[in-house]
Structure 1
Amino acid sequence: MHGAGRMRMTELTLVRHGQANAAAKDPDSYDILSDLGHDQARWLGEYIAPLGQYDRVVSGTLRRQFGTAEGANPTGLPHSTDARLNELDYYGLAHSLRDSHGVPFPDTPEGFAAHVPQVLDVWRSDGMSPDLESYKAFRARITDALHDIAKDGPGALVVTSTGVIATLTAIALGLDTSAKTKMFLTVAHTSMHKFELRRDGLYLTQYGATPHLDTPDRAFARTFV
């Protein structure tokens, strides 16, 4: 039991940012929380504040991540940023896929769902522009960030993005690209995911929880795009 307690000390909670501008065609336009995104963050903060489980907030530096972290922090916990938690460069990867394979950027949710596996497949096969961050480098930076955050103890609420959460989930569960794609498409806005860093690797202990949205009057607010 002593060993099990020690392993729990490395548990971290990762949260996806609130809903952003889904109609955007470029990263700057996308990186803005919608009105619903602000509400989702505030509701998350109202849910977690009475629990007293967190002593600090860590977020990426993207506006949607930082804004979510602020909204979910009504008690003013210390908030630091780490750019290693930023999302993969989906727009850059999509443009590279367009230039190399003639695959257009999607303009519908259905098109996006079909586009994601194409992007991830080519990216993981090192088929994207060499000017872009490689999959190997992305994986290394997010795992390094997680280990560094864990050094300060288990009480961190970590606000990041879909690609980070899906990739860490795939690492923890040993998922192939097809299964990872499903994870990528099923990370709800402001959903909570718990990971444990143990001596023998990364473990997923909770996936996709949205207790702050799981009421009839907020059913509309459980969004993915």
Structure 2
Amino acid sequence: MAELLVIRHGQASFGAENYDVLSDLGRAQARAAGEWLRSMDWAPDRVVTGTLNRQIDTATEMGFAPPPDTHAGLNEYDFADLLDARFKGDIPDLVKGDRKVHFRTLRETVFAWQRDEIENPYETWAQFTARVEAARAFAVDTDAKRVLVVSSGGVIGQMVSESLRAPAQHMMNLNLQIKNAAMTRFMFSGSLFSLNEFNATPHYATPAGAKLMSYS
């Protein structure tokens, strides 16, 4: 059996004009994840990321040698676009600026998206799930025994949910739990693909490491 280790990117820049930039904390999180894996004598034979800067930069900060392949199917869903479609371009100020309201609205919006209740989204729920599956298939189409993937919370939640054959809503319940730079591990061989570990953060399991933990 081979391993697919999927890492969520480090903390990005919530509230900034350009969200797709790792914060200083996000870079530290990525370095901590890479250092812990090396301490366990774990190094990837293949690295795959999405095409977002925060994903590519997380892989770089982790410090592994194999140059990364990229697959756009690993990119996060565009919540800003979904919000714009849901609220017809008039997004409430609290949704933009208040973290608690933001994430409650995120959950409600994704559930509506899954039910096809949002008119003219940039991509449908079916298109999102299809591209995530295509990215997963790309990552495991290899002779490598250890594959490192850097992606985002929604994609990881969908991979886990699909591997468990869970209802669509379960994706979002998982998505909101996933910590920055957390590790989710799958085992694969041929057509076999199964969840081994979800949302693990052993690199935060010290007093110093605990200060690195974040969810967004």
Shared fold (TM-score greater than 0.5)?
yes
Deviation of the 1:77 alpha carbon: 2.1
Where does residue 214 of structure 1 map in the other structure? 205
Where does residue 100 of structure 2 map in the other structure? 110
2:205 matches 1:195: no
Where does residue 80 of structure 2 map in the other structure? 91
Whole-Å separation in 1 of the counterparts to 2:28 and 2:135: 28
Where does residue 63 of structure 1 map in the other structure? 53
Where does residue 4 of structure 1 map in the other structure? none
3-state SS in 1 of match to 2:87: helix
Deviation of the 1:181 alpha carbon: 2.4
TM normalised by structure 2 equals 0.89
Whole-Å separation in 2 of the counterparts to 1:150 and 1:178: 25
Residue 139 of structure 2, aligned match among 149, 153, 158:
149
Q: Which runs of 5+ in 1 are unaligned?
A: 1-7
Whole-Å separation in 2 of the counterparts to 1:174 and 1:216: 37
- Identity, in percent, stands at 31
Q: Which runs of 5+ in 2 are unaligned?
A: none
2:14 is aligned with what amino acid?
A
Whole-Å separation in 1 of the counterparts to 2:163 and 2:187: 9
Whole-Å separation in 2 of the counterparts to 1:64 and 1:144: 21
Task: Report the CA distance shift for 1:192/1:98 in structure 2 as closer, same or farther (over 3 A).
Answer: same
Whole-Å separation in 2 of the counterparts to 1:84 and 1:125: 21
3-state SS in 1 of match to 2:88: helix
Task: Report the CA distance shift for 1:93/1:131 in structure 2 as closer, same or farther (over 3 A).
Answer: closer
Whole-Å separation in 2 of the counterparts to 1:131 and 1:181: 18
2:66 matches 1:77: yes
Deviation of the 1:193 alpha carbon: 0.3
Deviation of the 1:52 alpha carbon: 3.2
Where does residue 120 of structure 2 map in the other structure? 130
Where does residue 19 of structure 2 map in the other structure? 30
Where does residue 223 of structure 1 map in the other structure? 214
2:173 matches 1:175: no
Whole-Å separation in 2 of the counterparts to 1:201 and 1:140: 18
Where does residue 21 of structure 1 map in the other structure? 13
Task: Report the CA distance shift for 1:67/1:168 in structure 2 as closer, same or farther (over 3 A).
Answer: same
**8 Å contact 1:120–1:177 — kept in the other structure?**
no
TM normalised by structure 1 equals 0.86
2:68 is aligned with what amino acid?
H
Whole-Å separation in 2 of the counterparts to 1:34 and 1:136: 32
**8 Å contact 2:85–2:121 — kept in the other structure?**
no
How many residues are aligned here? 212
